[in-house]
Amino acid sequence: MLSLNNIDIVAGKNVLITGGTGSLGKTITRILLEKSDVKKIIIFSRDELKQFEMQKEFNDIDTSTKLRYFIGDIRDKDRCFMALRNVNIVFHTAALKHVPAAEYNPFEFVKTNILGSQNIIEVSIERGVERVIALSTDKAANPINLYGSTKFCADKLFVAGNQYSGDIGTIFSVVRYGNVIGSRGSVIPFFLKQRQNGYLPITHKEMTRFWITLPEAANFVINCLSEMVGGEIFIPKIPSMKIVELANTLAPECELKDVGIRPGEKLHEIMLPEEVARDSLEFDEYYIIKPSIGLSAEKLSSWEKGKPCPNGFSYTSDNNDKWATEDEIKRNILDLKIEGIDKIKKEWGY
Whether 69 has a pLDDT exceeding 90, the answer reads yes
Burial 97-126 (b: 16+ CB within 10 A, else e): bebebbbeeeeebbbbbbbbbbbbbbbbbe
Q: How confident is the model at residue 349 (pLDDT cuts 50, 70, 90)?
A: confident
What are the pLDDT digits (tens) for 24-66?
999 999 999 999 999 999 999 999 999 999 999 998 887 778 9
Position 184 scores a pLDDT of 67
Position 185 scores a pLDDT of 66
Position 90 scores a pLDDT of 98
Pairing of strands 89-92, 131-135: parallel
Question: Are the beta carbons of 60 and 103 closer than 8 angstroms?
Answer: no
The count of C-alpha atoms lying within 13 angstroms of the C-alpha of 4, restricted to the half-sphere facing its C-beta, is 16
Pairing of strands 270-272, 171-175: unpaired
Catalytic residue among 50, 139, 237, 266: 139
For residue 323, the cross-strand partners are 240
Position 235 scores a pLDDT of 97
Q: What percent of the chain has pLDDT over 90?
A: 71
Q: How confident is the model at residue 81 (pLDDT cuts 50, 70, 90)?
A: very high
The length of the chain, given as a count of residues? 350
In eight-state DSSP terms, residue 113 is I
* Active-site residue, 151 included: no
List CB contacts of 258: < 8 A, sequence separation 6 or more: 202, 203, 204, 205
CATH code that applies to domain 8-180+211-238+270-321: 3.40.50.720
Average pLDDT for residues 256-269, to the nearest whole number?
87
Position 1 scores a pLDDT of 57
Position 313 scores a pLDDT of 96
What are the pLDDT digits (tens) for 245-259?
999 988 888 999 989
Question: Are the beta carbons of 243 and 185 closer than 8 angstroms?
Answer: no
Average pLDDT for residues 212-226, to the nearest whole number?
95
What are the pLDDT digits (tens) for 152-211?
999 999 999 999 998 899 999 999 998 888 676 678 888 888 888 889 999 899 999 998
d(CA 217, CA 177): 8
Position 197 scores a pLDDT of 86
Pairing of strands 171-175, 131-135: parallel
Average pLDDT for residues 329-347, to the nearest whole number?
81
Whether 107 has a pLDDT exceeding 90, the answer reads yes
Pairing of strands 179-181, 208-213: parallel
The gap from C-alpha 314 to its chain's centroid, in whole angstroms, comes to 20
Mean pLDDT across the chain: 92
* Complete DSSP assignment for 227-250: H--SS-EEEE---EEEHHHHHHHH
Average pLDDT for residues 14-32, to the nearest whole number?
96
* Complete DSSP assignment for 284-319: SSEEEEPPSS---HHHHHHTTTSEEPPTT--EETTT
d(CA 91, CA 173): 10
